A and B are shown apart, each in its own frame.
Chain A
Amino acid sequence: MDQTELKADFLRTYDTYANDIYRFCAVKVTNRELAQDLTQEVFMRFWQTVRDGEKLRNERAYLYTLARNLIIDWYRKKKESSLDVLTDQGIDFGNDDHKKIEESAQMREVLEVINQLDDDAREALLLRYVEGFTPKEIAAMSGETANAVSVRINRAIKKVQGLIQAT
Chain B
Amino acid sequence: MKKFDNFISQFTDYVRRIQMQPRIRDVVREQLSAYADLHALTEGTVLTATRSRFLERINVNIFRVGFAILIVAVGTGGVAYASHDALPGDTLYPVKVGVVERLESAMLYDAKTRATWNAILAERRLSEAAALAVRGELDEETRLKLEERFEYHAARSAIAADEVRAKGNVAVALAVHSDLEARLAAHADLFSYLATEEGEAKKMLGTIARVRDTASAARQKTEAEIPGHLLAYDADDIDATASVTEEVARIAQGAGDTATGGIDARITAARAALSSARDSMARDESGVAYVATQVAARLTHEASILSKNRSLIALGKPSAPSPTPADTAAPAPAAASVSPVNSATMMMKVPDVSITATTSTEATTTPEEESEEDEDNAAQEETSSRDQPSSSESNESTSSETSKVESTVKKIINVLPGI
Contact = CB atoms under 8 A, between A and B. Distances in A.
Interface of A: 1-3, 6-7, 9-15, 18-19, 22-23, 26-27, 31-34, 36-37, 39-41, 43-44, 47-48, 50-59, 74, 77-78, 85-86, 88-89, 91-95, 98, 101, 106-107, 110-111, 113-114, 125-126, 129-130, 157, 160-161, 164
B109 A78 contact: yes
Interface string B189-207: 0000000000000000000
Interface size for chain B: under 10, 10 to 19, 20 to 34, or 35 or more residues? Answer: 35 or more
Closest 4 CB pairs of A and B: A3-B62, A93-B17, A94-B19, A59-B52
Interface of B: 3-4, 7-8, 10-12, 14-21, 24-25, 28-29, 31-33, 35-37, 39-42, 45-62, 64, 105-106, 109, 114, 156, 159-160, 162-163, 166
Nearest to A22: B20
A89 B58 contact: no
A9 B106 contact: no
B49 A55 contact: yes
Contacts of A74: 109
Contacts of B57: 1
A39 B60 contact: no
A59 B28 contact: no
B58 A53 contact: yes
A11 B12 contact: no
A95 to B, nearest CB: 7
If over half of A's interface residues share one DSSP class (helix, strand or loop), that class is named, otherwise mixed; here it is helix
Contact of A50 (B47, B59, B114, B156): B47
B50 A55 contact: yes
18 contacts: A1-B59, A19-B19, A19-B20, A32-B159, A40-B28, A50-B54, A50-B55, A53-B58, A57-B51, A77-B109, A88-B166, A93-B17, A93-B18, A95-B17, A106-B10, A110-B10, A129-B12, A161-B3
B39 A48 contact: yes
Given A56-B49, A89-B163, A47 B17 contact: no
Nearest to B58: A1
Contacts of A160: 4, 7
B42 A51 contact: yes
Contacts of A52: 45
Given A47-B35, A164-B7, 10 more contacts: A18-B25, A36-B28, A55-B49, A57-B49, A59-B52, A59-B54, A59-B55, A92-B21, A93-B18, A125-B8
Given A1-B58, A92-B20, A6 B41 contact: yes
Nearest to B15: A130
A54 B7 CA distance: 40
Nearest to A55: B48
B23 to A, nearest CB: 10
Contact of B60 (A1, A9, A33, A48): A1
A150 B45 CA distance: 38
A15 B46 contact: no
Contact of B62 (A2, A31, A56, A89): A2
B58 A164 contact: no
Contacts of B20: 18-19, 22, 36, 39, 92
Contacts of B41: 3, 6, 51
Given A1-B57, A33-B163, A23 B7 contact: no
Contacts of A125: 8, 11
A85 B163 CA distance: 10
Contacts of B8: 125, 129
Contacts of A1: 56-60
Nearest to B11: A110
Contacts of B166: 85, 88-89
A9 B15 contact: no
Nearest to B40: A3
Contacts of B48: 53, 55
B49 to A, nearest CB: 6
A101 B11 contact: no
A23 B21 CA distance: 11
A129 B10 CA distance: 11
B29 A15 contact: yes
Contacts of A37: 105-106
A27 B40 CA distance: 32
A113 to B, nearest CB: 7
Nearest to B20: A22
A47 B391 CA distance: 43
B36 A47 contact: yes
Contacts of A31: 163
Contacts of A19: 19-20, 25
Contacts of A12: 54
Nearest to B45: A53
Contacts of A111: 14
Nearest to A15: B29
Contact of B29 (A11, A53, A57, A161): A11
A95 B61 CA distance: 43
Contacts of B37: 7
Given A56-B49, A110-B11, A130-B11, A47 B58 contact: no
Contact of A6 (B60, B106, B156): B60
